[in-house]
């Protein structure tokens, strides 16, 4: 069940905790507290039965102080402008933590993608792009995949943008198929970096992933890669979940067999011992990695979490009120600003490759992601250790200081 606690107030409360450690001014804070723009759209789409259905949609650009904005397009029932604004601000922070020349954005269409056909989804994506064509571009606002969208959706965006502008500009969208200017490493970057970051955080705390017990909430592309990477580092992945439920094996799951089972049956259920999603979050494990969507851990279930480390492999997986409880009870949260950084870094690298029309190998891409993620992680860990803060506060400080510098240097126009 989705929590309702994704809100601007929670974001601002966490920001306030970082301010005593920051070099910021009222001016730079004002730029962060107010998104640059939010566009609301009504999208008419002809359905397969010949009727015309109207869909609500949004696009928020939070900041362009450090460069053009970049952020995903989510297809989810109930998505709102407010949701897009909060997630866009998180993207701004994430780009600043990684020291990338980008700002944050987020878009969404209020639809359950499972309720429409592939043809209807294509029409919806193309209409969304056409309505936004004056606001997006490789030097202004760059679109990316998110919940409910994929590389095929990005290909439709690329084509619709070209049809509207009369030119093919590959960098207007990232997460594209490789034949259309996409990058190697896109599908694995977020899950792989989340697992590698987890290992490094544990190592600094004097612990190891060797034989550590891990549960993964969300066995999509991110969760599957994270689980495989955790296992490669020696962890025992004892439970995973998808929309159909969860499966558990005390001695560790056979991930290759599990993946084949899911491809065959459409769910992880039935592979080992079936458990509920709530039971997965309550397991006595070392690591609980969250790879589904925001709000997996909220005020209603935080008290039942028994993991020592909770990892946000997706944005805002732990809501602020839950994080306060976890912190008070000795649970370390590895925040999205560093745990899910690999996805943003590979999107940035794709954008750079499109701009230069020069593409790197898969090995070069993985190396470049690791360099950027490790540099950001080292800076956050060093700050947290020397100032005795939690990891999210440290990441906020790093990001806000960089945003402050950019804002002050640019000044106010006119």
Residue that is written with structure tokens 């590959």 in the block: 170
User: Based on the number of CB atoms within 10 Å of its own CB, is 342 exposed (0-12), middle (13-18) or buried (19 or more)?
Assistant: buried
- Rounded Cα gap, residues 41 and 257, in angstroms: 44
Catalytic residue, from 33, 94, 106, 327: name it.
Answer: 106
In angstroms, how far is the first alpha carbon of the chain from the final one? 47
Sequence-separated (6 or more) residues with CB below 8 Å from residue 169: 137, 138, 161, 162
- Rounded Cα gap, residues 121 and 112, in angstroms: 10
Cβ atoms 329, 309 nearer than 8 A: no
Helical segments of 34-178, H only? 81-97, 118-132, 151-165
Tokens of 325: 């409880």
Tokens of 43: 């999208």
Phi, psi of 155 (to 5 degrees): -65, -40
- Give the closest residue to 261 by CA, choosing from 276, 245, 285, 250: 245
- Rounded Cα gap, residues 104 and 88, in angstroms: 5
Let me know if 327 is a catalytic residue: no
Give me the active site residues, please: 106
């Amino acid at each position: 069940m989705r929590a309702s606690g994704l809100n601007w107030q929670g974001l601002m409360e966490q920001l306030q905790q970082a301010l005593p450690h920051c070099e910021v001014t009222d001016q730079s804070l004002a730029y962060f507290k107010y998104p640059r723009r939010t566009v609301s759209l009504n999208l008419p789409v002809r359905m397969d039965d010949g009727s015309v259905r109207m869909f609500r949609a949004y696009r928020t650009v939070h900041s362009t102080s450090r460069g053009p904005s970049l952020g995903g397009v989510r297809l989810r029932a109930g998505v709102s402008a407010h949701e897009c604004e909060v997630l866009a601000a998180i993207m701004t922070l994430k780009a600043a933590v990684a020291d990338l020349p980008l700002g944050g954005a987020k878009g969404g269409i209020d639809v359950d993608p499972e309720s429409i056909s592939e043809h209807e989804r294509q029409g919806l994506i193309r209409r969304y792009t056409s309505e936004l064509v004056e606001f997006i571009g490789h030097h202004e606002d760059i679109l990316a995949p998110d919940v409910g969208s994929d590389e095929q959706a990005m290909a439709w965006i690329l084509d619709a943008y070209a049809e509207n502008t009369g030119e093919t500009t590959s960098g207007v969208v990232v997460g594209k198929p490789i034949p259309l200017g996409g990058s190697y490493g896109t599908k694995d970057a977020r899950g792989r970096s989340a697992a590698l970051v987890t290992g490094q955080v544990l190592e600094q705390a004097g612990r190891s992933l060797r034989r550590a017990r891990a549960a993964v909430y969300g066995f999509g592309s991110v969760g599957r890669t994270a689980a495989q990477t955790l296992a490669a580092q020696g962890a025992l992945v004892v439970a995973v979940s998808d929309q159909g439920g969860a499966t558990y094996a005390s001695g560790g799951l056979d991930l290759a067999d599990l993946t084949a089972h899911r491809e065959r049956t459409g769910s992880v259920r039935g592979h080992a011992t079936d458990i509920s999603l709530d039971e997965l979050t309550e397991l006595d494990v070392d690591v609980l990695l969250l790879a589904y969507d925001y709000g997996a851990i909220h005020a209603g279930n935080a008290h039942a979490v028994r993991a020592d480390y909770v990892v946000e492999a997706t944005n805002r997986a732990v809501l602020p009120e839950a994080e306060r409880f976890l912190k008070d009870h000795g649970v370390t949260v590895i925040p999205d600003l560093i745990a899910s950084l690999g996805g943003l870094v590979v999107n940035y690298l794709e954008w750079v490759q499109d701009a230069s029309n020069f593409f790197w190998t898969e090995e070069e891409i993985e190396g470049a992601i690791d360099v950027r993620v490790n540099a950001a992680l080292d800076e956050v860990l060093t700050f947290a250790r020397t100032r005795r803060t939690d990891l999210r506060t440290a990441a906020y400080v790093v990001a806000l200081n960089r945003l402050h510098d950019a804002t002050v240097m640019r000044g106010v126009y006119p």
